[in-house]
Structures are given as C-alpha cells and as structure tokens.
Structure 1
Amino acid sequence: MNKDAFKIAYLGTDAAAQDLLLHASAAEGFACAFFKKSEDLVQFLNEEAHRIVMVFMDHSPPAMDAFAIRGSIMNQFDDVPTVIKIPGMVRLDEMDQIISLKIKRVISEYLLDDIRDTIQKYNRKVDLDIEEEVKTAFILECNELLEDVESAILELEAHPSNMNALKRLFRCIHTIKGSSRVTRWREFETYVHAYEELLSEIDGGIRVVNHASARILLEGYDRIVALVDSITKGQRLNFDVNQWIADFHALDQDITSTNPARENDQDSTTARTSRTQGTRTINVPIEALSKLTYYVSLMLENQKKCHALIRSLDKENLDEKIHEIDALVTQLQTTEEEILVNLEEVRCVPLRSVFRPYSRIVHDLSRTLAKSIQLVITGEDIRVDNTIASVLGNSLIHLIRNSIDHGIESPEARQASGKSPTGTIHVAAVRTDDGLTVTVEDDGDGINLQRVAAHAVNRKLHTQDQVNRMSEEELISIIFQPGFSTASAVSSISGRGVGMDMVKNTVESVGGIIRARTTAGKGSQFILEFHGKNSVIYFE
C-alpha cells in the first residue's frame, strides 16, 4: 500500500489544529481525515481502519469526552495509536484512564514540530504494511479453501454417508476460522465459528445430512464468500451477524417448502461460480520472468537458424552445415536446461513469506490466553516449491497454535517450576542432503502421555488394554489420529480434534512425514520432513 494512502484522523472542531495537522501529516507523507462527531469517526474506523495510522482527539467534556470515545472503540481498535489534547494539567483520575485506555500521548496544545515528532514516533504504518501482507496471504488461502468447501458440500448432499467429504469440509472451515484473526473483523470470526458449530452438529448426529441441510450449508458458504470478497476489496460488508446466525435456524423452517426465489438466487449462483473458477496464484519476481522471456526468445531464434541451415543443405556444404547445426542443437539443449532451472525458481518462494504471519498469531493468541511467549524463527531465507510452502503454511499454524494452547504454561506456572516466565516457540527450517526438515519446538510442559492415553480411551479410539501395551512413540502418535483432543472444552482456539489429524494428512499428501518428541516438563518438538525423492521440492 502506498504511503499516501494512509490517513491520520482528527476528532475536533479546532480549525487551527486542522491546519497544523494537515501540514505535519503531509510532511510525513500522510493524508488527513477530519471529524466533528464521534459517530462519524467510529464509522470511518469501521470502514477504513486498515488505512488509519493514528488518531488525534480533542477532549472537551461533556460535548466531546475523548476518554469515553476511546473506551467505546477499545475492543476493536485498541491498536490504533491515539493522542488526546487536554487543556491545562492532567488530573489524577484522568491519568488512570490514560493508562487503562492505552493512550499514546497527551498534549496541551498543537505545535507543528511537536505534532511531526509525535507522528514519526507513534504512527503504525509498518504494522499496517505487515497486516496487509498477512491479509493478502489469508485471502489467497481462503479462496483455495472455499473452492474445496463448495465441492465438499455438493459431494455430501449427493452422498450423505460420505464422511470423507464432511471431514474435508470441517477441516477447511476450521482452518479459515483459525486464520480469521488476522482480519481484525470480529463479526467475520463469529460467523465462521457459528458455521463450524453447524458442522459440528452434523458430525455429532444432531442434524442429518439431506437436501435441506445442504442448502443451509451452501447459504452459509455463499455468505462467507461474500465476506471474504469484501475483505479483498477493503470494504467490510455491513451485516447483522446475530441475524445471519439466526438464519441458520430460520432456514430449517422454510427451506423444506419450495421457494422459487431461493431456487433462482442469482447472487448465490454467481458467487459459487466465480469461486469455482478461481486459480492458485504465486508472486513471481519480474527478474525471473525477464530471464524466462530472454531464454525463450533465444531458443526461438536458434530454432529459426537451425531451420534455415537445414534448408540450405546441399552436397557441397554438407559437412560444414552439419557442424553448424550440431552447435545450434547443443545451444538449444543448454537453453532448455536454463528454462527448466528458471521455471523451478519461479515455482519457489522464500520461507520468509510462509513464516511472516506467525509472529502476529503468537502475539494475539498469547495475549488472549494471558501467556508470555516469544517466537524464534530460523531458516527463513530457504526457498521451497510453492506446493511445499502451501503445506507448511497451513500445517505450521496448527502446530504453533497447539504449542501456545497446550504446550507453553502460564507465567506463574513456569516460574513455579523454575523456568523463565516467558516461553519460547522455535520454528526452524534446515536443508538436508535430499530435502527439507522443519521443526516446531517449544519449551513448555511437554505432552502428558498418561492424559493422552486416558483421552484416547474416553473417546473410544483405543481400549485400556491397547494403550497399556503401547510404547512412548506409539502413545505420542495418538495425537495425530482423527477426532483426538485433550482439550476439556471446545473454544475458538482448539478442542475439536481436527488440527493435528489435518497436519499429518496434509504433510503426507506431498510425500512428507511428521514425527513428535516430548520430554515431561521440558517441552515438545514436531519434526516435518520432506525428501526430494518422495515430494515435490526445489531449492535455490
């Protein structure tokens, strides 16, 4: 996003302040948006938060209470840096609010140099740039997953006993829900979570799979498509999430009767058609395309020369021309090899692009769970085939979330056991002689194998006698079985037992393998291995 697309918002009526903010913002490359009413600012935030680098507010209660306004938007926009102008001295009770509301700075008057310094120090352009990249990756992932969602629903409608289609549908929605935090759109997260609950009811036998339930699923699918499309356009769809969720149950009542309007819903048809026509995309450096263009042109030129030489053959120049043709053929072979090398390069992406969202995921989830966690990443400069990158992107998210939720202890528990209050998750990629190894390691409490065994028995995955005879390696492998989870309750983070199973299936789908190790009280390690002879993989 261009810097001049970012804006600084001002809530107030001071014309002189507006003039100073215009000059200071322009000097830093930002535009301004001015508001006299708080409701207009809130609406602007709802629509344009991804472009707002900073907010200035005048505090003049009761007409304009900046503290109350900031408090009203904290839940959704607490990360928007806010500066408040308070005439005179700050009172003690106001100081408490400044701290609790995470207000970056309080000023008593607007001064040009001071405003510029404040903008330079507190604007969040870098954070928004990262969010934009993460959001782009999320959109690409969603588009791919939603294609599979629609086909899975249609397969399930045609064959209600097809549990593979249901599992595939469940995993796609679970992945979208798990990644939806990057959108910072609570209504979107809530709706996808409700859709997953609907699938859970089908999986649990509460709802049967028939034409009516398939129609409900397709209706919900169309709405998720519309929401993702609105994220793509940068304009959030205005909708009542509670009403949309209620529609799941309302559809139960009216969907059994023939509804011509719904049968001929052009919007739904258009949405589903456009989604099935989507294609997977990757970012290709201009330099790589230039190289390919050059080598293809060279190959075509040499082909023309070769044809010309063949046409000029006669008895007198046969030996000479054959020698020239042989040289051209050798050059053509060399060019073809260069093209293949460059095509492999085009298919490769740096792991940095795969790992980029993880810092934000660790930050958000650790805050949600009141844990202190640092993420360490190594090997991000390694380039891999886009297929492997896609597999890693989906799989590592689940492994990292698993480490945050189940592995790393609370700061208090860690201190009580003699550990640093801050846990560490280490994601490492290493080249091997014939492929790639990626590990996700945490220094948490480790996998409680007794608990794993107990839950396996409770979920009827194994009998007590079977788990009693299992080795440590076999017990660890239980966590990769379908339906297994040690979570005591389902949450927006974990508990459905589809994450680790999905990781294993995804890794194995490209010829990779996944193993786990654990040490009680010291942590766990998940190792993903991709070997060249078994999987599609290229390195720079």
Structure 2
Amino acid sequence: MSNKEQEYKKLFISEADSSVEELETLLTQLEKSPKDQKTIDSIFRITHTLKGNAAGMGFELISKFSHALEDLFSEIKQANINIESEIFSTLFKAVDTLKELVQSLSDDSLNVRYRGIQRKLEVIVENSKKQESYAETASVKEVEDKEKPAKKTKAKKSTAKPKATKSKAVEKQQNEEAKLEELRSAVEANQKQEVSKKDPVFEQEIEVIQEEKETKKISFSDMVQVPVEKLDNLLNLVGELIIERDRLITAHEANVSRNEFNSLKRVSSDLQYSVMDVRLVQVGFLFNKFHRVVRDAASTEKKQVDLIIEGSETEIDRNILQIISDSLIHLIRNAIGHGIESETDRKAHKKEIVGKLTLSARNESEGVIIDIKDDGKGVDVDKIKQKVLNKGWVDAATLEKMSKEEIISFIFEPGFSTNDAVNSISGRGVGMDVVKKAIDSVGGNIKVETEAGKGTTFSLILPSSMAVKSTLLFEVGHSQYAVPLTYTDAVLSLQRKEIYKIQNRLMINHQDQTIETVFLSDLFFPNESSAKVDALKSDAKWNVVLVQYNGKKLGLVVDKLLQQKEIVEKPLKKPVDFVRYVSGVTILGNGKVCLVINIPQIIQKLFNHSVNVNATAVA
C-alpha cells in the first residue's frame, strides 16, 4: 500500500471511529425517546455516509454491514418497524460489531464475528417488508370480498334466500380474518428459529454471542483532531523560542564554543519543522472541491470542460491553502470564461469540443508551484494594449517598448477587464487584482505563460510554509533589513561607471535588460540624501539587490550585504500597521528588530509613479 493510500486509510478509520461513537450516543438518545424523528434521521444519515465512504475505500465488509443498518433505519423512518427493547439490544450489538470491523482495519489479528448480527438485521427488514406486503394483500382481498356478496345479493334478489346468502358472506369474511390473523402470528414468530433454518452460520454465531462474556473495552483512535488556532499558537511559541535561541547564541558566542549550542540548535530546529509539518495538508483536499466549480462555470458559459488534477499529494501549509482558495476559484472561472473557446470556435480551429483545464501542483526548491492550465485561445496581447491605451495608463510609445510579459501584467491592475459584456463570471474588472493581493499576502508570486491558439498557464509560486521565510539580510544606514528570497533575482556588485542616467533616473544593464535602480535610503529617509551623495562621489563598488515582482524588475542600492537567513516574520499590528514598504518584522540574534521589506508595494508605487524618487545625476 502506498503512502497516499495509507494516509487515506488512517483518515477513514479516524472518521469511522467518530461516526460509530456518534451512533452510540444517538442510539442512547433514541432509546429514551423512540419517536424522535430527528435522531432517527441523523442515524440514517451517518450509516448512509459510512456505507459510501467504506465502499469508496474498498472495505466491502464495513460497507455491507453499514448497508444493513441503513436499510433497518429506512424502515424505522417509514414507521414500518416499531422500535422495541429487543431491537435496541440488536442495534447496540450491531454498533459494537461495526466498531470491531473498523478496528480490524488497523489490527489484522482481530477476528470479528459479524455474519450472525448482520443476518439478524437483514431478517428484521425482510420480515417488516413481508408484513407490509401481507397487510396490503389482505386489505385488498377484504375490500373485494365485501363488495362481491353485495353484488350477488342484488343480482339474485328475486330468487335467492336472503338468510342463506348472508350466512355464506359472514362465513367467508370470518375465514379471511382467520387467515389474516394467522399471517400476522407467523410474522411475529421467533425470528431466531426462522433464520436458523435458512442460515446455519447465523445459528452458530448466535450461540457464540450468547455464550461469550461481555467484556466491553474502550478504544481510542490513533488520530487526534486539533483546532487550527491551537497549532497557530504553538507555532508562534516555537517562533519565539527560535528567536530566543539565536539571541542566546549571539550573546555568549564570544565566551562559549559554538559547539556547545549544537544540541540546542538541533532540538529547537527539529521542533520548529515538526510543528510546521503538522500544519501541512495535501492540496488534493482543495483540488477535489473544484469539480463542482468547473461544472457550474462551464454550464453558465454553455461550454464543455474536463478538469484534470495532477500532483494532488503535494503538501502545503493549511493557512496558505485557505488564503489562496478564492484566488484559485477565480482563476478557474477566468480560464473557462476567457480562455476556453465556445464549441463553435473550437470546431473552427479543429480542436476537441470538450476543453481541458488542468490543475496541478509540484514541489520545487523555492516552495510549491500550482499551475492552472487551459487549452484555450490564449491571452490576446493586442486587446490588452488597446484597453491600456483607452484607459490612459501608458502612452503608445512606451507601450511599444514593453515586453510581452510586461503587457500581460496589466491584467492584474485594478479595474482591468477585456470582456465588454458583464456576466456572472467576468466583465466587471474585479478579480485578478484581488488574486494578486492574496498571493502577495502569503509571500508568493504569480507568472503567466500564454501561446496564441494553444492556451494559457497561470503559475502560482508559493512558500510551503508561512512560519519560516528565507530572506537576504542587508544594512541601510545603521539598521538591518530583510528582503524575501522569493522576490530576489540577483545580488550585484557594480562599479560607479556601470550606473547610467536616463531621464533623471539611474539605470543598470543586466542580462541585456535595462533596469531602473534606486537607493533604498531614498524611500525610507527621503530627507537624508548624504549617503547617496557620498556614494555618487566615491569610486567604491555599489551593492545592488535585484528584485522582481509581476514581471517588473528593480535594483535596490544598499550599504552592506550581510547573509542569507531563515526568519520568523511577524506582521505589523496597530498602531504601526500603516507603515509603507514594510510587510513585517523579526528579531535577530543580537536582539535588534529587523524590518522585512515589502517588495510588491515598492515596485507598484514606483512603476505607477505615485512616489517621486529623484535620482541624482551622475557626473
């Protein structure tokens, strides 16, 4: 059995244990209030769900046993069976047997006797149906017999003797009533005797059940359900432990050998990653919910679309999956509404009528990558250009110089839509910018690859965990800052002569690209330009951190590069949650607070010209 199948088996056992416990509770309530229809409905629903889940997992014994219970409660729901004390004894024994069957999945040595009690449940249902059938047949005959003598009497009124006719009718009616009473007595006869003739196995197991001593044992599941809030709190405490560990090591590294702290580092790191691992879930639990989303969106658009899921066993932080779930829904609906063509267009382009939408996930060094791929018409770059010009976001000359990726990135701007008609899926200009913000909030990124007539792929690059963030540390002024490696493209050391001035802006060349460069000190300390002036007059090398976001690249000039480090980032809270260009904070080993740079916000502000950063001319 593969690891994935083993995990699903454990999950089934955990859910089945919970269902059986709930059945015991509900049966206890039903014994006190046998007419409580709500409790009967709940028991029927649980047995039905358990039957379906067991069948889906291939556990036929549990599925058939649950089916027998379901049939019995179906008769009870329809008031065909009156629940008596004897039936309750059978039901409690059935639930005990069901519990043992579930336990046998994890304990191969457990030999469960189930045929007798299962057959007894089936016989109760069969007898109920027979009784119902007999009652209906007898009722029909009784009505017919009452009508027949009346008609005969009327037809032979002139010749037949009234007294004799009445006597025969009464005699026939009494015979029918006697037969009906005999049938009812047969139905209410001892069920054990009736079944023992039909099923020898049943008779043997009944004897075993009667002889064996009842030794009830309370068992516990190997799986425990823990609220996410408790895991979050535990992770926060572990994060504080890691920060305190780094502080202690830094404070005593001068007097104590670093090897003295190796055991502490190992145990604390193992604890941190163990807690992170507990929060991981398979993306398949979310992906499998999208079949209905695809079906509804395709129905609205009058299209046929097949959803293909790949890499569902890939694991990611539960909180990340929860945050991006709405974004995935929008991207899927967007792919169906904008990407996949109508049946007529697909026929015209010699494509299969049924469109294909692939939802896949995979692990890479930078985290987890989720792809939403369609085989539609692709993104119309020319249409995006026209919309951008109509909105006046960029002039025609600048637009012509932009790359394909930069033009496509406009779809993530607020208010952008290529659909002129508004429907339930698209055309409002709301959605893709919200998707982008959600991805940014978890420290991720999104890329778009498209080919005309072939389709489009949206790739979400996400961290596998929100607890630990890989960053690059550097200094600006006398303070230390961190930039997430997710947005870091390269680290450059440049001579002053490699910096160019174009239209009062500083530019550098990197891999045949001209990239705007700014002093990070200008953003944080706009009134203090001494560091920049000194750098421009000096011949010393410039340390440039090249970052990218949404297809746009930017060079950040910093004073000193320090090291790469995994940090525990804490979000900004009131009253400092309004601070620009900062996404969160952490505490370093020296006890100082380190700000985490918000790269998406910096690039958006600079490229939208909402912040005026004047570059000093290079002499």
Same fold (TM over 0.5): no
* Structure in which a larger fraction of residues adopt strand: 2
Larger radius of gyration: 2
* Structure in which a larger fraction of residues adopt helix: 1
TM-score (norm 2): 0.35
TM-score (norm 1): 0.40
